[in-house]
Amino acid sequence: MKSPLAETLGGLRVCGPWPAIAGGGDAVMKLKSIAGIRTIDTRTVRPPAKAADPELLSPEHRRWAADVKKRAGYQCQAVVDGRRCEVRAPARLFADHIIERKDGGPAFDVENGQCLCGSHHTKKTAAARGARLSGRGGRGFKSPS
């Protein structure tokens, strides 16, 4: 049995309580028929397209990152509650700028580098960004927790 609403929409099936009443098989058919509906981007301002920072692709950066990870023994250098994080290669590791480049930290100085696991890198980056946005600056933040 067709509902009057479905007819007014030109055959577009509409979800409602009636498929359960009409029968289970019919409900599955209705879900399949609406699966092809396209999504609409309603954002008025779109974020800039994601592009890798060209500096991060440079040979200098690759060498710096390799040196930072090697110096750390390929283990995350985050210290939490007095204990060093135990994540190590082959887990994915990140060479992190202790003072971020955005905050004026030297890009290719191994002294400004630390090896972090994905979790600690994300936490540190978010904390540095928060400090920058709140006007406290990203300088001096070293140990992620």
CB of 50 to Zn ion, least distance (A): 25
Query: Which 3 state secondary structure label does DSSP give 143?
Result: coil
Q: Is the dihedral of CA 22, 3, 39, 44 positive or negative?
A: negative
Size of the site for Zn ion (CB under 5 A): 6
The answer to whether 113 and 67 have CB atoms below 8 angstroms apart is yes
CB of 79 to Zn ion, least distance (A): 9
72 lies in the binding site for Zn ion (CB under 5 A): no
Single residue of 68, 72, 87, 99 touching Zn ion by CB under 5 A: 87
Region 101-140 residues binding Zn ion, contact defined as CB under 5 A:
117, 120
d(CA 69, CA 97): 12
CB of 111 to Zn ion, least distance (A): 20
Single residue of 6, 27, 85, 131 touching Zn ion by CB under 5 A: 85
CB of 126 to Zn ion, least distance (A): 14
Exposure letters 37-47 (e unless 16+ CB within 10 A, then b):
eeeeeeeeeee
Residues 6+ apart with CB under 8 A from 9: none
Residues that bind Zn ion (CB under 5 A): 76, 78, 85, 87, 117, 120
